[in-house]
């Protein structure tokens, strides 16, 4: 087993200028006293990746994981230390980076593949594969500027995976295109793994890590926290999230969300939502939910004139915009319809348990007419929350599952 | 199923539409895949600048340069009615303008002045186009520079390559012109003109690489260079005969100062080759009467200096390259 990537005490310093002087006049005026702060994006990072291994780099936004990947790719140079990479590297930092809108898809495939280091003869040989993978046979001679964003990204991915590098670097680009294309991308990644290629994936999604990685490097504030198998590393990552000052995705127990959510609806309307708060059943101070936690959404609203046939509804959306759940109180399951007099009210939406896996979710709330159609007031989003799965299952829903084995027929003897 | 064990549990009905599962074996590791124990070339990413690997990498990326040049040529006149024809039309029209100006508005009494002018413009345009377009090239391609790893000098070198292409388009126009005037170039000086062309390319490449890097940090360069090139245009004898400057300077015995500008020797070589045959011998000759050896020696010095400048530019570029992705 060879070492494919050897990261040796790599540090990277960024100069954060309070103001950027790039013109001669400013340079002269501020010569020698340009205000800046040193910011160490990476500090003595050290790890090795073996040939054929898939290693994930997991960290929060701003933890330095992308900087590390850019250093491995050779786009940034480390301030100190060095990285030895064995074999041909292709980095997928942005799909379709360098596509020329004026050129045809065909020309762009050649240009882009060449940028990624593929010789021309190889490009010609694989051209049909690339086009077929991107599913752009009809449009390959059109100018890229007429492509939809989906087509653009598909072509970018198709080129990048067909470069067939020894080392593939992926930065959060697996979540592109529609579901079917994503699946295709995942399949290609698995094929790369079977072929014994080395892959480094950067993500803040524990899900991706669990799905494809052999080992995971957890990075926090530019330092390596741990290098471990996915399950263990993800736990360490969670601890980091807990210990650090995580941007609070969910207002904790006693705190109201009134200040942060936007109140929709004008005061002269018949119903005005004045206030919203979300609470979870976990320990106070925890900023995320685990699967099976309960969630309570509280909406306060003001009714300005008598209102008949009122129902309350809510929707839960996944981060990619997919609808997870939609229900209102007029539906048969609940069947609560109210007639309201002017005054202040509070309505609570109680999710006894959320069988959801990793991800960020948003909840919208609405006050509507029971017959449907008229929505009196709507709060979007009423709350956002993140679910962090301590287990190893992946996917969208924490389906309760038991697995049992029994012999159907025993071999004679 | 736990309920089924005792026989007392309920029966689970079959789902009619559940497809039968097929088991596909995973593909074996194919030959030639990197799973083999072949020795792969390794690359070191660090803050140190090593000149030789850089040059090797650029040589390996020569196909990329070709693709980038092709892109430049395609994109420049894209969406114009005449399209690629502009590549030829542009120099022809500019030459027409110069010809009219120096024939009727600012007349001088040189024979075949259009040919003299064009002979000087050829190397000048190569130099001028290279520098003009490469100064801003890294900023213009910030998207690639920030997201893809490749030797970034290539972007500047591709601009020089594009300028070389235009040089050849202009040469075609020149040939048409010479045929029109029924003038033959002085073939004896063809090798010298070719040597001058190489000098011109290396010098342009050196400055292009250097300026493109500096411009990332000091965006003024892009604008400064436009003015500087206008001024520089008048430094070699393109629109005026060599003799006007030559006589005055040699009067003070400091003609060598003029040759400190490498463009002078380059332009003179081109003029010697193209205009040499038709240069008048009796009336004041716009060309100096240097021997072939003189040209070879001077161009040799220019080439040596240009090569040193080029390596220096590469070193400087390598030194600052590491921060491009941050600065853009």
Per-residue pLDDT tens over the stretch A86-128: 888 888 777 777 788 888 889 889 988 888 888 889 899 999 9
Per-residue pLDDT, averaged over A14-25, amounts to 70
Give the pLDDT confidence score for residue A19 in this predicted structure.
66
Task: Say if residues A341 and A303 touch (Cβ distance below 8 Å).
Answer: yes
For residue A25, list chain B residues with Cβ-Cβ distance below 8 A. 220
Q: pTM to 2 decimals?
A: 0.70
A12 φ/ψ angles, rounded to the nearest 5 degrees: -135, 125
Comparing B43 with A195, the larger pLDDT belongs to A195
Q: What ranges make up the beta strands (E) of A234-374? A: 271-280, 295-303, 307-318, 323-328, 338-340, 343-351, 359-369
Q: How far apart are CA B262 and CA B203, in angstroms?
A: 9
**How much of chain A exceeds pLDDT 90, in percent?**
3
> What was the ipTM of the complex prediction?
0.74
pLDDT attached to residue B300: 95
Local confidence band at A266 (pLDDT 50, 70, 90 cut-offs): very low
Is B78 at the interface with chain A, CB within 8 A?
yes
Residue B78: closest CA among chain A residues belongs to which residue? A102
| Pick from B164, B180, B169, B165: nearest CA to B88 | B169
What does the block give as tokens for B129? 């186009």
- Joined tokens for residue B134: 């490469």
B54 Cβ contact list (under 8 Å, min separation 6): B151, B153, B314, B318
Q: DSSP string spanning A254-286?
A: T---TTTSPP-S-TTSSEEEEEEEEEESS-TT-
Parallel, antiparallel, or unpaired for β A359-369 and A338-340? unpaired
Longest dimension (CA), chain A: 94
> What radius of gyration do chain B's Cα atoms show?
30
Task: State residue B320's pLDDT score.
Answer: 84
In angstroms, the CA A55 to CA B204 distance is 45
A102: which chain B residues are within 8 Å (Cβ-Cβ)? 74-75, 78-79
Give backbone dihedrals phi and psi of A143, rounded to 5 degrees, phi first. Answer: -65, 140
d(CA B103, CA B91): 18
Q: Are strands A89-92 and A80-86 parallel, antiparallel or unpaired?
A: unpaired
Test A111 with B29 for CB contact under 8 angstroms: no
pLDDT for position B3:
42
- Burial label, B6 (beta-carbon count in 10 A; 0-12, 13-18, 19+): exposed
> Residue B209: what pLDDT?
94
pLDDT score of B254: 82
Q: Which two tokens stand for residue B67?
A: 């693709």
**Pairing state between β A338-340 and A307-318:** antiparallel
Domains of chain A and CATH, by start? 1-87+189-246 (3.40.50.300), 271-387 (2.70.50.60)
Could you give the percent of chain A with pLDDT greater than 70? 85
* Residue pLDDT tens, chain B, 328 long: 444 444 445 666 655 544 444 444 444 444 444 444 455 677 777 777 778 888 888 888 888 899 899 888 888 877 777 777 887 888 788 888 877 887 788 777 777 788 888 899 999 999 999 999 999 899 888 888 888 888 889 999 999 999 999 999 889 888 988 888 888 888 888 999 999 999 999 999 999 999 999 998 888 888 899 999 999 999 999 888 888 888 888 888 788 888 889 999 999 999 999 988 887 766 667 788 888 889 999 999 999 999 999 999 999 998 888 778 777 7
Note the pLDDT of residue B228: 93
Q: What is the pLDDT of residue A248?
A: 37
| Euclidean distance between CA atoms A167 and A69, whole angstroms | 12
* CB contact at 8 A, B134 and B156: yes
Start-to-end C-alpha separation, chain A: 43
State the nearest Cα–Cα gap between A190 and chain B, in angstroms: 10
* Helix (H/G/I), strand (E/B), else coil: A346: strand
Please tell me if residue B70 touches chain A, with a CB cutoff of 8 Å.
yes
Answer whether B146 sits within 8 Å of A72, measured CB to CB: no
Average pLDDT, chain A: 80
Closest partner residue to B63 among A14, A81, A120, by Cβ?
A120
Select from B40, B149, B218 the Cβ nearest to the Cβ of A24: B218
Select from B2, B74, B143 the Cβ nearest to the Cβ of A404.
Answer: B2
How many residues would you count in chain B?
Answer: 328
- Tell me the C-alpha distance between B91 and B114, whole Å: 13
Residue-level pLDDT at B302: 95
- Which of B317, B46, B199, B221 is closest to A23 using CA atoms? B221
Q: Of A145 and A238, which is predicted with more confidence?
A: A145
| Alpha-carbon span B324 to B317, nearest angstrom | 10
């Amino acid at each position: 087993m060879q070492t494919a990537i050897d990261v040796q005490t790599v540090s990277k310093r960024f100069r954060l200028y309070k103001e950027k002087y790039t013109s001669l006049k400013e340079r002269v005026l501020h010569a020698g006293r340009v205000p800046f702060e040193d910011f160490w994006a990476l500090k003595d990072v050290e790890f090795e990746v073996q040939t054929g291994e898939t290693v994930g780099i997991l960290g929060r936004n701003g933890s330095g994981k992308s900087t590390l990947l850019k250093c491995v790719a050779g786009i940034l140079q480390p301030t100190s230390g060095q990285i030895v990479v064995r074999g041909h590297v292709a980095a997928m930092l942005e799909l379709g980076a360098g596509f020329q809108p004026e050129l045809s898809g065909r020309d762009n495939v050649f240009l882009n593949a060449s940028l990624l280091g593929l010789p021309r003869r190889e490009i010609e040989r694989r051209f049909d594969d690339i086009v077929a993978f991107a599913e752009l046979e009809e449009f390959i001679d059109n100018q890229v500027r007429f492509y939809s964003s989906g087509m653009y990204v598909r072509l970018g991915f198709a080129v990048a995976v067909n470069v067939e590098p020894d080392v593939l670097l992926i930065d959060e680009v697996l979540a592109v295109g529609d579901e079917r294309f994503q699946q295709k991308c995942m399949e290609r990644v698995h094929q790369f793994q079977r072929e014994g290629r080395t892959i480094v994936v950067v993500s803040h999604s524990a899900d991706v890590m669990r799905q494809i990685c052999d080992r995971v490097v957890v990075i926090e504030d530019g330092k390596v926290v741990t290098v471990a198998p996915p399950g263990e590393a993800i736990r360490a990552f969670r601890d980091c999230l807990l210990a650090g000052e995580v941007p609070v995705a969910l207002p904790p127990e006693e705190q109201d969300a009134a200040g942060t959510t936007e109140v929709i609806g004008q005061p002269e309307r018949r119903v005005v939502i004045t206030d919203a708060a979300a609470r979870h059943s976990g320990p106070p101070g925890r900023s995320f939910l685990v699967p099976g936690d309960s969630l309570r959404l509280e909406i306060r609203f003001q009714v300005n004139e008598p209102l008949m046939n009122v129902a309350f509804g809510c929707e839960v959306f996944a981060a990619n915009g997919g609808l997870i759940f939609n229900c209102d109180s007029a539906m048969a399951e609940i069947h609560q319809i109210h007639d309201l007099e002017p005054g202040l009210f509070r309505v609570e939406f109680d999710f006894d348990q959320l069988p959801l896996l990793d991800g960020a979710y948003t909840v919208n709330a609405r006050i509507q007419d029971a017959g449907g159609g008229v929505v009196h007031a709507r709060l979007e989003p009423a709350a956002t929350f993140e679910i962090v799965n301590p287990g190893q299952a992946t996917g969208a829903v924490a389906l309760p599952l038991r697995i049992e084995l029994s012999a159907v027929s025993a071999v004679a003897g | 199923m736990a309920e089924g064990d005792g026989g007392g549990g309920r029966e689970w009905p079959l789902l009619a539409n559940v497809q039968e599962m097929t088991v596909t074996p995973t593909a074996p590791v194919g030959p030639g895949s990197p799973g083999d124990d072949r020795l792969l070339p390794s690359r070191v990413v660090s803050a140190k600048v090593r000149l030789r690997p850089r040059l090797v990498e650029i040589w390996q990326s020569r196909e990329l340069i070709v693709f980038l040049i092709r892109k430049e040529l395609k994109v420049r006149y894209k969406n114009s009615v005449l399209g690629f024809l502009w590549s030829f039309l542009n120099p022809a029209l500019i030459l027409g303008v110069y010809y009219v100006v120096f024939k009727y508005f600012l007349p001088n009494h040189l024979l075949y002045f259009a040919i003299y002018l064009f002979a000087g413009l050829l190397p000048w345009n190569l130099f001028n186009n290279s520098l003009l377009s490469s100064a801003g090239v890294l900023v213009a391609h910030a998207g690639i520079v920030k997201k893809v790893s490749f030797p970034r000098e290539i972007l500047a070198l591709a601009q020089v390559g594009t300028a070389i292409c235009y040089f050849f388009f202009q040469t075609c126009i020149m040939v048409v012109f010479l045929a029109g005037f029924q003038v033959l170039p002085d073939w004896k000086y063809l090798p010298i003109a070719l040597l001058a062309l190489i000098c011109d390319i290396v010098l342009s490449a050196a400055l292009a690489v250097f300026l493109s890097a500096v411009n990332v940090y000091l965006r003024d360069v892009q604008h400064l260079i436009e003015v500087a090139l206008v001024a520089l245009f008048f430094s070699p004898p393109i629109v005026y005969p060599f003799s006007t400057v030559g006589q005055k300077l040699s009067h003070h015995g400091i003609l060598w100062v003029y040759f400190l500008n490498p463009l002078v020797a380059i332009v003179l070589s081109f003029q010697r080759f193209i205009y040499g045959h038709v240069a008048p011998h009796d009336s004041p000759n716009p060309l100096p009467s240097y021997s072939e050896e003189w040209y070879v020696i001077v161009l040799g010095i220019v080439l040596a200096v240009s090569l040193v400048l080029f390596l220096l530019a590469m070193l400087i570029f390598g030194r600052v390259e590491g921060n491009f992705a941050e600065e853009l």
